[in-house]
Structure formats: C-alpha cells, structure tokens
Chains A and B, each alone.
Chain A
C-alpha cells in the first residue's frame, strides 16, 4: 500500500516527538562543555584549538567512571561580541552546562550577561578584563586564569621599581585595552610615577604601529606601555626594534604577552622583554610532563596560561559535578558555581587555589623575562623566572573590586 500524504505527515510527526525524548534521556546524563574561543583570528594561537585540546585532555584524565558522559563542543566567536553572545545563548538553550575560555574581553563580558540571565555556569580563562570580578561580576561566573589588575601589578609594578616612572600608553581601543591601561596607570601613579599621554589604536585591523610608536617616542617617556595583545603586541615589538624606539633608553612594557607571541616575534627581537603569566610550562617536572601530553595534540603550539587554565577549570568543574550529581548541577548554574567556589581547585599545573566570592580564582603570578637565543635550550624554551607574587597578593583585594555580590 502506498501511504497517503496525510499518513506520511502523521508518522513523521510521531517520529519527531519520539526522537527528542530519547535524545533528552541521553542528555540528562551527559555533561556538556562548550569551548567558545577564537578559532580564526589574532588570538587563535593564544587560545583557540589548544584551549579545546586542553579541555579534552582534562576530560580524558578525569575518566569515565563517574556515572556520566562528558561532551566537549567548540565554536569560533570571531572576536565579535554579538557573534559570541548568539552562540552562548544557543548553547545554553541546547543544554550546554558550562561555557569555557572566551578570550577577548568585549566578548567575555557579553557572555557573562547571558550566563547570568540563563542561570548557567561560565568559567572565563581567556579574557583579561578585571571587570569580570569587579562591577560586572556575576553569580554564575568564575574568572580563572589572570586579569588586567594582576598584569598591571606584576609587569607594571616591576617596571616602576626598575626606575620607569614616566609612561606613555599604546592601547587597543576596546574593553580589554582600556581596562589594562587604567589598572596599569593606577599602579604607576601610586608609585609616584607620571603618565605622559597615550594613543588608542583601532582594534581589530591595525597592523602598522610605527606611527603610534613615533608619537610615543616624541613624548619622551621612560616606558612605553603596550596595552594590547596577540599579533598587535608582536607587531609593536617588531616595529619598535625596527624604528630604534628603544635606542634612547626607552623601555617597552608588553603588559600582556604570551609564550605563543614570543614564538611569533622570535627570540632575537623579543629577548629581554618582561611579561607575566600564571603558568609557564618549564616550571617543574609535572608541568613539563603535562605539556608533552598537550604537545602531542597540538605539536605546533605549546600551552600558555590560558590553555593551562582551560585544563584546570575543566577538571574542577567535572569534580564538582561528580560531587553534587548531574541533575543538581544542571538545575542551577548559581548552585553549581557556588559549589565550585566552596572548595579550592587542585591540579598539577596551579596547585591548590582558592576561589573568592566575587568569582576570582587566586594563584601566584610569575614575572618572566624572555631568554636570548643563546640561553634557550630547546624548542619553546623562552622564559626565565624573575619573581613570584604569592596568590594572596597577586590579585585585586576583594574590597576594592566593587563587585555587587560582595557588597550585598
């Protein structure tokens, strides 16, 4: 018998209702982690596929014996807040339990709002803006790896101590650059230094910084603060070398610089720069062993602090879910995040780290100097440690952030 069109429609409709039911049953016992990151733009190597690889490594190491399955999704937010917000909304609606990474502060802040609105967990490893645990802090958000305040205190503070008391800023013209400039300027002023001026460069889309460097030079500061990241910082450092910006004793402060940026600049040009990370892979045997496991997944890109943060955050999230049960974890993002804050995270990369009420995870920060080609002993061996700031001093004090969660 040939089915009529009506019968076909009816059976189709029936199938359509059965399928979601069975899918829903499978979903109830599957925890989903969405890595929302930059897969195609300037921050791809600093975050991107290596963040995804680290998340997956954590899932593998966590193991499958906890009575629930774990699925890792990834998407490219193209460094655009509207694109990132759309994906976040869609993911949370489709049952994603945690959104992770989210570099680019403007996107990081946009997703923060959506996590709050949807009552879902959000761990940011990739963005720098300290506003995530300040005025814009949320009950569903943890800021995992670093922030502008900690960078400013470590790198900015070190430059001022070394005698750099007059500054000029080259700042990427968006949320991150503004926050980094603001936090660094505060440290410089507090130490008795002066800010001589600054220039805001369009982001994204600026590749020639020579003109801005020339303006900075004309102001005759002792330090030029680069409040930018990724390829922008790399281009600034290269072009500063080319134009002899540092000839007259002016020092460059790359306020945010990752291992991967140094790889792109080359040690010959980057040597002697100082920067700050909360993780560097050559720190001890455990971090080296872990890095070799990650390098097997992404051989052309070694992990920086953001990547290590994605690994560490995933482990802590999964432990907490195993602890409170999948159903309870899915029911409320606020409860889940409160449970995550209630116990310290613990892993081979960062050790034991407390998470504060405002969502700030606390860990030591490392002031690092880029090695010269002669000092480097192998591939990706770029850092020597200058100084460690302990966890309780590295980040902004709880009372100064202005986070409503703390006041209320």
Chain B
C-alpha cells in the first residue's frame, strides 16, 4: 500500500474527501454571512441559530406535517427566511446608522434567545432525522466508503454557491444590490426600493443558513447546540476569506475544511484549533483577508 507522509494513501484520500464535505457546510454558511455583511454591513451572529432552525423546521415539517426531505429543502429556507425578514424589519433596520458593534450585539442576543427557547422545548439530546430513501446507501470508492448523502451535500452546496455568486456578480438584480452598497441614496433616486431590497437580502442570507441546516439534519443530530459548534469556525472562515467577499468565503470554506480534515489525521487534538491559528496568521499578514479589498 502506498504511503504519503507515513499515512496510507487511501486514508489520506478519504480524509481529503471528508474535508471537502465539511468544507461544503463552512462554504454555505460563510456565503450567507458574506452576503449579509457585504450588503448590510451587519455581522450576523444569529447565523448559527438560523442554521439550527433550518434543521429543526425540517424535523417539524416531517413530524408534524408529514412533509419529507425534498419538501423541507424548499419550505424550511422559506420559513426561516421569513423569520429573518421579520427580525430585519423590526430590529436590525434600526441599527444601520450605528456602529457595527450594535448589530453584532443585537444578533448575538437574538441567537442566544432562539437557542434557549429551542433547548427549553426540545432538550439537548437531539432528534433523529432520517436520510431520504433516494440518497440512502453508499458508494465503495476503493479507498473509502462514501455515503451517497455526503456526496449529494458537496454537489448541492457547490451548485448553490455558484448560483449565488452568479446572481450577485452577473445579473441586473445583483448589480442593483452592489450599487446600493456603494451609494444607497443614488440608487434610490433611480427608483429602486432600497430598504425592501436590503430586507430581502437579509432574508436570503438567512435562508442560505437554513438550507445548510436542512442539509445537516440527517448527518448530525438535530439539536439546539448544532449551530454554536459551527458558527465560530464559520466566522473564522469569513475573516480569513475577507469580510464581504463572496467568492473568497466559498473558496476559503472548502479550503479550510480540507486543512481541518488533514489536521485530524496528523494531530487530532489540534483539529479544533487549527483554523484559528490560520486566522491569526492571516490577520497578521493580510488584515483584509485572503480575498478582501483593503
């Protein structure tokens, strides 16, 4: 059996693939954060809770309404996105003129409250959510056993990331959004309803988090802490990629997933820290992030 750095090659390939799968979650979550930060200048700390809500709404749809995975993939982001719209209208919209810190505190607080409420009603052990029948089973790749569902997660999230990037960079709507970030009064003067656009953008960012939550539901146990574990890492991803850079956050998400996966082989105890070490190095050398504009 071939070895690379003393590790059997099949094991290393397996870890690379697993890194990509985790990276897919990082990418989707940091994408939503980057969209929200880029256009609203709000650091959305509720993102982890909204990811968790996506998973819970999927569970509720199945348990209470009999709506399966495929329905949840569409409905859950819409429902959670709608709660995002309400939050933006009622609370966040009042903070645009203030320092970033206020938005951060508000969204952090909302996140804590949402998690507390879910914990109160659903406990912490988590709820089971089955992998849909069409994606059951696994492929034997020779070097590893790849569950079909995990493969689906990678492909699906790549498509979503690409689509989001295209919408923002290549369409007329995206052009409006980008223009509104640069100079909102001017865009408004051309007859575009900027406040409504911003509200919907926040809703869309939140829906992305919820979509990632639905994808995660069959893999992790659906529990109120599931977002907390992930969100800190995702923030590090956004900082490394460059705040507000959409392509940057996607590439960094996948890249760091792989780096983390490799660390799990060579030094497992450090796997929860490695991303923050990279973050520190990037901040020291390129404060605007790898893909950010200074």
Q: Using a CB–CB distance below 8 Å, which chain A residues touch chain B?
A: 40-46, 48, 173, 199-202, 204-208, 210-212, 214-215, 218, 230-231, 234-235, 238-239, 242-244, 247, 260-261, 263-266, 268-269, 300-301
Once bound together, how far apart are the Cα atoms of A201 and B271, in whole Å?
8
Q: Which residues of chain B are near A46, meaning CB under 8 Å? A: 125
Known A48-B124, A234-B221, A269-B128: A215·B265 in contact at CB below 8 Å? yes
Once bound together, how far apart are the Cα atoms of A208 and B24, in whole Å?
13
Once bound together, how far apart are the Cα atoms of A129 and B221, in whole Å?
26
Are A265 and B8 in contact, with the CB atoms below 8 A? no
Name B111-170 residues within 8 Å CB distance of A.
116, 119, 122-128, 130-131, 138, 144-145, 147, 149-150
Q: Which residues of chain A are near B230, meaning CB under 8 Å? A: 207
Q: Which of B10, B130, B229, B264 contacts A211 (CB 8 A)?
A: B264
* 19 more CB-based (< 8 A) A-B contacts, given A208-B18, A264-B125: A40-B119, A40-B124, A44-B123, A48-B124, A202-B271, A206-B229, A206-B272, A210-B150, A211-B15, A212-B264, A230-B124, A231-B124, A242-B150, A243-B145, A244-B147, A263-B125, A264-B126, A265-B128, A269-B128
Once bound together, how far apart are the Cα atoms of A266 and B130, in whole Å?
9
Mask, B171-198, CB within 8 Å of A = 1, is 0000000000000000000000000000
Q: Name A265's closest neighbour in chain B (CB-CB).
A: B128
The answer to whether the Cβ of B226 comes within 8 Å of any Cβ in the partner chain is yes
Once bound together, how far apart are the Cα atoms of A44 and B149, in whole Å?
30
Q: Which residues of chain B are near A243, meaning CB under 8 Å? A: 138, 145, 147
Q: Name B140's closest neighbour in chain A (CB-CB).
A: A244
Are A214 and B14 in contact, with the CB atoms below 8 A? yes
Are A211 and B220 in contact, with the CB atoms below 8 A? no
**23 interchain pairs, CB-CB under 8 A:** A40-B116, A43-B124, A44-B124, A173-B269, A200-B269, A201-B268, A202-B268, A202-B273, A208-B219, A212-B264, A218-B11, A231-B125, A231-B221, A234-B125, A234-B126, A238-B220, A243-B147, A244-B145, A244-B147, A247-B145, A264-B125, A264-B223, A265-B221
Pair count A-B, CB < 8 A: 115
Are B147 and A261 in contact, with the CB atoms below 8 A? no
Mask, B233-275, CB within 8 Å of A = 1, is 0000000000000000000000000000100110011011100
Q: Which of B130, B268, B273 contacts A212 (CB 8 A)?
A: B268
**Interchain residue pairs A-B with the least CB separation, the first 8:** A266-B128, A44-B124, A264-B125, A202-B272, A45-B125, A264-B126, A211-B264, A244-B145
Known A214-B18, A231-B223, A301-B123: A244·B138 in contact at CB below 8 Å? yes
The answer to whether the Cβ of B22 comes within 8 Å of any Cβ in the partner chain is yes
Once bound together, how far apart are the Cα atoms of A300 and B126, in whole Å?
12
The answer to whether the Cβ of B225 comes within 8 Å of any Cβ in the partner chain is yes
Q: Which residues of chain A are near B128, meaning CB under 8 Å? A: 264-266, 268-269
User: How near does chain A come to B40, taking the closest CB pair, in angstroms?
Assistant: 29
Known A40-B119, A261-B125, A301-B123: A214·B144 in contact at CB below 8 Å? yes
Known A44-B119, A265-B221: A210·B18 in contact at CB below 8 Å? yes
Once bound together, how far apart are the Cα atoms of A99 and B221, in whole Å?
32
Are B18 and A207 in contact, with the CB atoms below 8 A? no
Are B219 and A42 in contact, with the CB atoms below 8 A? no
Q: Which residues of chain B are near A300, meaning CB under 8 Å? A: 122-123
Q: Which residues of chain A are near B15, meaning CB under 8 Å? A: 211, 214
Q: Which residues of chain A are near B119, meaning CB under 8 Å? A: 40, 44
User: How near does chain B come to A352, taking the closest CB pair, in angstroms?
Assistant: 32
Q: Which residues of chain B are near A214, meaning CB under 8 Å? A: 11, 14-15, 18, 144
Q: Which residues of chain A are near B149, meaning CB under 8 Å? A: 242
Once bound together, how far apart are the Cα atoms of A157 and B18, in whole Å?
33
Q: Which residues of chain A are near B268, meaning CB under 8 Å? A: 199-202, 212
Q: Name A237's closest neighbour in chain B (CB-CB).
A: B221
Once bound together, how far apart are the Cα atoms of A231 and B228, in whole Å?
14
Are B11 and A260 in contact, with the CB atoms below 8 A? no
Once bound together, how far apart are the Cα atoms of A260 and B223, in whole Å?
13
Are B8 and A218 in contact, with the CB atoms below 8 A? yes
Are A239 and B264 in contact, with the CB atoms below 8 A? no
Are B123 and A242 in contact, with the CB atoms below 8 A? no
Once bound together, how far apart are the Cα atoms of A204 and B221, in whole Å?
15
Once bound together, how far apart are the Cα atoms of A400 and B119, in whole Å?
42
Q: Which residues of chain B are near A40, meaning CB under 8 Å? A: 116, 119, 124
Are A238 and B221 in contact, with the CB atoms below 8 A? yes
Q: Which residues of chain A are near B130, meaning CB under 8 Å? A: 266, 268
Q: Which residues of chain A are near B125, meaning CB under 8 Å? A: 44-46, 230-231, 234, 260-261, 263-264, 301
User: How near does chain B come to A240, taking the closest CB pair, in angstroms?
Assistant: 11
Once bound together, how far apart are the Cα atoms of A263 and B126, in whole Å?
8
Are B124 and A45 in contact, with the CB atoms below 8 A? yes
Mask, B267-294, CB within 8 Å of A = 1, is 0110111000000000000000000000
User: How near does chain A come to B126, taking the closest CB pair, in angstroms?
Assistant: 4
Known A199-B268, A200-B268, A211-B18: A235·B123 in contact at CB below 8 Å? no
